[in-house]
Structure 1
Amino acid sequence: MEQLNEFHREFLAEVQGEADAQGLITTEAFLEKMGEILDEAGELSSFAQCYHEGVFKQKPVQVDGFGWDADDEEGVLSLVISDFHRHAEPGSIMKAEANRLLARVVQFVMASLDAGYREGLEESSQAFALADLIRRCWKKITKIKLILVTNRIYKSRTDAQSVGRIGEIPVTSNVWDLGRIQRFIEAGQTREDLVIDFAEDFGEAIPVLRASFDGAPLESYIAVIPGTQLAAIYDRWGARLLEANVRSFLQARGKVNGGIRDTIRKDPAMFFSYNNGLTTTAESVEVASIGEGLFLMSASNFQIVNGGQTTASIHAARKLAAEQLKDVYVQMKLTVVPPEHSETVVPNISQFANSQNKVNAADFFANHPFHIRMEEYSRRMLAPAGENGYREHKWFYERARGQFADERGRRTPAERKSFDAIFPKSQFFTKTDLAKFENSYRCKPHIVSYGAQKNFAELARAIGEEWGKNDGAAFDEAWFQRLIAKAIIFRHLERIIPAQTWYTGGYRANIVTYAIAKVVHDADARGRVPDLDAVWRLQRVPAALEQALLAAAEAANEVITNPPPGVRNMSEWAKKQACWARLASCSVAYDASFETVTIERDALRAVDRDTRVAKRQLNGIEAQREVVNQGGEYWSQLLAFGKSIGKLAPKEAGILQACTLLPRRVPTEKQCLAAVAIADRLEQYYDAVA
């Protein structure tokens, strides 16, 4: 309990700090923070705030935010209500009170479908835009998810509880209380313990065959699951059944697989033969021996790591082809992975299971070499102190959720002070933060506006392809430094926009990404790019660049808040390519000083070229030092070994021969670079022989 109290104090301080920085009331800052968490956790897509309170049919109405993706065929409408308290010690919220709050959101849905209530709302308000969206998209909505976010402690079950129907649409509720917020921030746990009781809750236990031997490192099973049962399970838990990376890429595509759908509708009996099935994991399982076989009774924290398209398509068929779904069966491989191994094992299972699937093109797990390299840079590279700083510091890149809290928490109080000085909390960023910074600079603000999961998936595909071209050579220390410069620009703009006279609130996140993209776009039109190296050296945004960004931000605000006729929802408008095209074509009057904070593209290429040459020279010196330190006798023995196994080309033998002349004659840097590479290769052969 003491740890939760401490977390609450830190969390309150962070929310209050954000409120002060943005000129918000604390409840607004709390909801904005929770919107980011819900989006990153995959709880909803494209969160937007929408404050409204009222009365409909003598019952209270309230909604504070929502998530809706018009391009996602799953059709899940998420509605959020906030319960924030500024007490120093966290209070408790009982189930009855939580239900009363959630009932207000249900009442808002009912009110939205009533023309009289809807037309009584201010037409320019966010509440009217949401009510109108619900009315227009009612036939597309397949499920309504109610989400209560609170900084109090909730004692009852919090996850995916069924609360009935509105018309024919099922409604579930989720509660994100203080404990759940802590578990996500500190350990990346996006859900409560998810226990699927196949026998009790979903009709029947599943027959399984054991696929692992006694003493195997992991317990494994092969099973066949009925399509109706799989659809019912997915209907309750939704995309949170999907392992995080698979979920994000499935959300990014958003379309039900046509081939799977057609098989269900036209030839359901052949589904098992045509489909590759599911690859799944669970933290623990209950398997019972009944009669002559084994049956899977329940699974804890069940995750689908391959087969997301199959599962979503079967769920869609529940509505479109219910009769045919009765004849659909899906093969399933289940591996039991204890929690202590999930960080490393589950991503590998997912990666290898998807190796022949298009999702692999977007494969971007936490152990991808890109993330590992960024993490290594962030722990090693000192950022300049800047003009006003007194010491160098570092930017902490969190490759896997919870790393920052873990690194800080395992230190003594004295060590923690030192850690905080080197890694300030303000200089901590995650994978989804990185994606926001980078895609803004890549002029994809409409993609950033889709939210954390989809934006991350978009960048994953792009960098995955770029990495494959040259084994990531482009993502060097200079790339990391410029990434930090992009982070400095992004966060600085977040801080200063709320203070602008033209800012009326509500769309700061969209304005920030659009403004950065606009500045990059307009600089590019002049054959120039923002001078990110200067931002890295200063560790701040120069005044001239700030002026340019604010000019672009004002233009972005004008475009975003004035959508074309027929478009009422500004958050949806910001996700459109047309929105970005309109801003890109706008003329922005930049100050003459804009030229001083940008550089010519050709000049930047020259800088990068000179840096690469200097780095190669430095590497050559290091290689020469290593060759000399090994001595002529080592190279003589290596030459003899290479010849004995027939693994030396004539040119390679000549290079090694030159090294045997040490110390009388020292090889050139180029020869030394080649000799070190040859030695690495031959030593691998030696290890294999030994």
Structure 2
Amino acid sequence: MDELNDFHREFLAEVQGEADAQGLITTEAFLEKMGEILDESGELSSFAQCYHEGVFKRKPLQVDGYGWDVDDEEGVLSLVISDFHRDAEAGFIGKTDASRLLSRLVQFVMASIDREYRDGLEESSQAYVLADLIRRSWKKISKIKLILVTNRINKSKTDAQPVGKIGEIPVTSNVWDLGRIQRFIESGQTREDLVIDFAEDFGEAIPVLRASIDGAPLESYIAVIPGSQLAEIYDRWGARLLEANVRSFLQARGKVNGGIRDTIRKDPAMFFSYNNGLTTTAESVEVATIGEGLFLMSASNFQIVNGGQTTASIHAARKVAAEQLRDVYVQMKLTVVPPAHSETVVPNISQFANSQNKVNAADFFANHPFHIRMEEYSRRILAPIGDTGYREHKWFYERARGQFADERGRRTPAERKSFDAMFPKTQFFTKTDLAKFENSYRCKPHIVSFGAQKNFAELAKAIGDEWGKNDGSPFDEVWFQRLIAKAIIFRHLERIVPAQSWYTGGYRANIVTYAIAKVVHDAASRERVIDLDGVWRLQRVQSDLERALLAAAETANQVITNPPTGVRNMSEWAKKQACWAELAKRNVAYDAGFDTVVIERDALRAVDRDTRVAKREINGIEAQREVVNQGGGYWSQLLAFGKSIGKLAPKEAGILQACTSLPDRIPTERQCVAAVAIADRLEQYYPT
């Protein structure tokens, strides 16, 4: 409890700091923070704020935010209500209070489909936009998720609990309380312990065959699961059954697989033969011997790492082919992966299991070399003091959720002070933050507006392709430094937009990404680019660049908040390519200072060329130093070892032979660079 209270105080301070920086009230800052968490965790898609309170049929109603993806065939409408408290000590919320708050969301839905209530709302209000969206999308909605976000502690079981129906639409409830927020921020756990009781909750236990021998590193099973049971499980838990990388992959591609659906409709008995099946993991399982066979009774934190498209398509088929679904069976491979191994093992299972499909490795991105390289740079590269600082510092890149909290938490109080000075919390960023910064500069603000998961998936594909074509060479230290400059600009603009006289609230996230894209676009039209190296050196945004960004932001605000005739939902408008096209063609009146913060493309290429040459020279000197330090005896042994295992090409053997002449003759820098690379490659063959 003490640990949770400590987290609560830190979390409150962070929320209050964000509120002060952005000119928001604390409850708004809390909801904005929770919207980012819900989006990043996959709880909902494309979070949008929508504050509204009222009364319908003598009962109170309230809504604070929602998530709805018009292109998602699952048809899940998520509604959010906020419960924020400023008390220094974390309080408790009971089942009665939680139910009372969640019922206000139900009342809002009921009011939204009532014409008289809708007509009483101001047409320009966020409440009318949401109510109108619910009315127009009613036939597409297959499930309604009620989500309560609170900084109190909830002890009752409320994760994906069914609470009845509105009309024919099933409704579930979910609570993100303080404990769950802490688990996500510090370890990336997006859910309560998700225990699927196949026998008790979903009709029957699943017969399985053991597929691992005694003493195997991991316990594995082969099973066949009825399609109707799989659909029911997915209906309960939704996309949270999908391992995070697979969820991103599906969100980037959208549509339900028509071929799978056609097989269910026309030839369900052949589904097992035609389909590749599922690859799944669980942290633990309960397997019982019944009669002469083994049966899977339950699985804890069950995840689908391959077969998400199959699962979503089977679930969608419930609407159009419920009878045929009874004849559908799906093969399933289940591997039990304890939590201690999940970060390394599960992403590999994801990548290798999906290699049978046309899936870029970048779609399964947690352990991609790009991330590992960015993490290494962030721990090593010191940022300049700038013209306002007093000491060097670093930017902490969190490749895997929870790294920052873990690195900080395992230090003594004295060491923690040093850590905080070297890695200020304001200079901490995640994979989804990186995707926002980078895609804004790639002039894809409409993609950024789709939310954390979809935007990240789009960038993952792009960087995966670029990495493969160039073997990662563009993503060097200079690229990282310019990424940090992009982060500085993005976050600076986030802070100052709310203080502008033209800003009327809402759509800040859209305005920021659109404004940055506009400045990049307009600089490119002049054959220029933003001087990111200057921002990196100063570690701040120059006043001339700030004025240019604000001029673009004001125009972006006009475009986003004045959609074309017939379009009421501004959040949906911001996700359209047409919205970006409209802003791209608008004229922005930049002042003369704009030319001082952009540089010619040729000048940038010259800087890049000089940097690469200097880097090669440094690498050669360092490699030569390492070769000399190892001595001729080491290289003679390495040459003999390489020949003995048949892993040396003739040219490589010649390079190592040159190194054996030390100290009488010193190899060239180029030979030394090659020798070090050969040594690194042969290291994997050393006997252990």
> Under a length normalisation based on structure 1, what TM-score does the superposition of the two structures give?
0.97
d(CA) in 1 for partners of 2:273 and 2:526? 58
Superimposed CA distance per residue, residues 535-568 of structure 1 (whole angstroms, 9 cap, x where no aligned partner): 1110000111111100000010000000000100
How far did 1:673 drift?
A: 2.8
Does 674-683 or 533-542 show the bigger shift?
674-683
Q: Which runs of 5+ in 2 are unaligned?
A: none
Give the C-alpha shift of residue 640 in structure 1.
Answer: 6.7
Q: Distance in 2 between matches of 1:288 and 1:683?
A: 45
- Supply the AA of the counterpart residue of 2:272: F
Distance 2:534 2:352 in 1: 42
Partner of 1:289: 289
For the residue of structure 1 that corresponds to 2:240, the secondary structure is helix
Residues 417 and 236 of structure 1: is their aligned pair in 2 closer, same or farther, counting only changes over 3 Å?
same
Q: What's the counterpart of residue 595 of structure 2?
A: 595
Does the 8 Å CA contact 1:249/1:362 hold for their aligned counterparts?
no
Give the conservation status (yes or no) of the 8 Å contact 1:364–1:464.
Answer: no
Match of 2:622 in 1: 622
Task: Say which SS state the counterpart of residue 579 (structure 1) adopts.
Answer: helix
SS in 1 for 2:220: strand
Shift of 1:20: 1.2
Q: How far did 1:657 drift?
A: 5.3
Aligned to 1:210: 210
Conserved? CA contact 2:347–2:364, under 8 Å: no
The aligned residue for residue 122 of structure 1 is 122
1:276 matched to 2:276: yes
| Counterpart secondary structure, 2:497 | helix
- 2:200 is matched with 200
**Of 357-366 and 475-484, the range deviating more from structure 2:** 357-366
Paired position in structure 2 for 1:509? 509
1:609 matched to 2:609? The reply is: yes
2: CA distance, partners of 1:75 / 1:679: 55
2:21 aligned with 1:4 = no
Tell me whether 1:529 sits opposite 2:532 in the alignment. no
How has the CA–CA distance of structure 1 residues 642 and 63 changed in structure 2, closer, same or farther, with 3 Å as cutoff? closer
Check the 8 A contact 2:248/2:363 in 1, yes or no.
Answer: no
Taking only aligned residues, the RMSD between alpha carbons, in angstroms, comes to 1.8
Partner of 2:63: 63
Distance in 1 separating the partners of 2:676 and 2:91? 64
Would the alpha carbon gap of residues 645 and 193 (structure 1) be closer, same or farther in structure 2, given more than 3 Å must change? closer
Contact 2:246 2:364 in 1 (8 A): no
What residue in structure 1 maps to residue 375 of structure 2? 375
Q: Does structure 2 retain, via aligned residues, the 8 Å contact 1:158–1:176?
A: no
1:35 has 2:31 as partner:
no
Q: Paired residue for 2:222?
A: 222
Provide the C-alpha distance between the structure 2 equivalents of 1:28 and 1:684, rounded to a whole number of angstroms: 53
Q: How many angstroms apart in 2 are the aligned matches of 1:639 and 1:508?
A: 61
C-alpha distance in 2, partners of 1:282/1:651? 48
Matches within 5 A, 1:16-415: 16-415=16-415
Match for 2:566: what amino acid? G
Aligned partners of 2:367 and 2:645: how far apart in 1?
36
Separation in 1, partners of 2:199, 2:683: 57
- Indicate how the Cα distance of structure 1 residues 669 and 106 shifts in structure 2: closer, same or farther if over 3 A, else same: same
CA gap of 1:386–1:334, structure 2 versus 1, over 3 A, is: same
The separation in 1 between residues aligned to 2:99 and 2:679, in whole angstroms, is 69
Return closer, same or farther for 1:614/1:25 CA change in 2, 3 Å cut-off: same
Aligned-partner Cα distance in 2 for 1:315–1:453: 22
Q: What letter is aligned with 1:446?
A: H
Deviation at 1:172, TM superposition (A): 0.3
Cα 1:127/1:394, change in 2 over 3 Å: same
Tell me if the contact between 2:206 and 2:224 (Cα under 8 Å) persists in the aligned partners: yes
**Residues 498, 508 of structure 1: 8 Å contact kept:** yes
The number of residues matched between the two structures is: 688
Alignment deviations for residues 578-612 of structure 1 (CA, whole Å, 9 cap, x no partner)? 00000011111111111111111111111111111
Distance 1:676 1:362 in 2: 28
Change (3 A) 1:366 1:677: closer
Shift of 1:18: 1.1
Q: Deviations over 1:23-59 (max 9, x none)?
A: 1111111111110110011000000000111111111
| Cross-structure match for 1:559 | 559
The CA deviation string for residues 226-256 of structure 1, in whole angstroms up to 9 with x for no partner, is 0000000000000000001101111121110
* Residues 639 and 424 (structure 1), Cα distance of their counterparts in 2 relative to 1, 3 Å cut: closer
Cα deviations by residue, 1:90-138 (Å, 9 ceiling, x for unpaired): 2111111111111111111111111111011000000000000001111
Q: Distance in 1 between matches of 2:196 and 2:148?
A: 23
Report the equivalent of 1:542.
542
1:619-676 deviations in whole A, cap 9, x for unaligned? 1122222333344555566667777887766655654555455444433322333344
Inter-partner Cα distance in structure 2 for 1:640 and 1:289: 56
Distance 1:667 1:209, change over 3 A: closer
Amino acid at match of 2:439: N
Identity between Structure 1 and Structure 2 (%): 88
Whole-angstrom CA distance in 1 between matches of 2:278 and 2:565: 45
Q: Which amino acid aligns with 1:253?
A: R
Q: Any conservation in 1 of the 2:360–2:464 contact (CA below 8 Å)?
A: no
Q: Deviations over 1:74-104 (max 9, x none)?
A: 1000000111111111211111111111111
Q: Match for 1:519: what amino acid?
A: V
- Structure 1 residues 171 and 657, CA, compared in 2 at 3 Å: closer, same or farther? closer
C-alpha distance in structure 2 between counterparts of 1:115 and 1:381, whole Å: 59
**d(CA) in 1 for partners of 2:128, 2:639:** 79
- Report if the CA contact (8 A) 1:354-1:360 is conserved: no
* Alignment partner of 1:580 is 2:555: no
CA distance in 2: counterparts of 1:109 and 1:681, whole angstroms: 62
Separation (CA, whole Å) in 2 of partners of 1:650 and 1:148:
67
2:460 is equivalent to residue 460 of structure 1: yes
Measure the CA separation in 2 of the matches of 1:640 and 1:216: 36
Change (3 A) 1:641 1:33: closer
Cα shift readout 1:183-232 (whole Å, capped 9, x = no counterpart): 11111110001111111111111111111111222111110000000000
Q: Which amino acid aligns with 1:559?
A: V
The 8 Å contact of residues 361 and 465 in structure 1, kept in 2 or not, is answered as no
Match of 2:447 in 1: 447
Q: After alignment, is 122-131 or 289-298 more displaced? A: 289-298
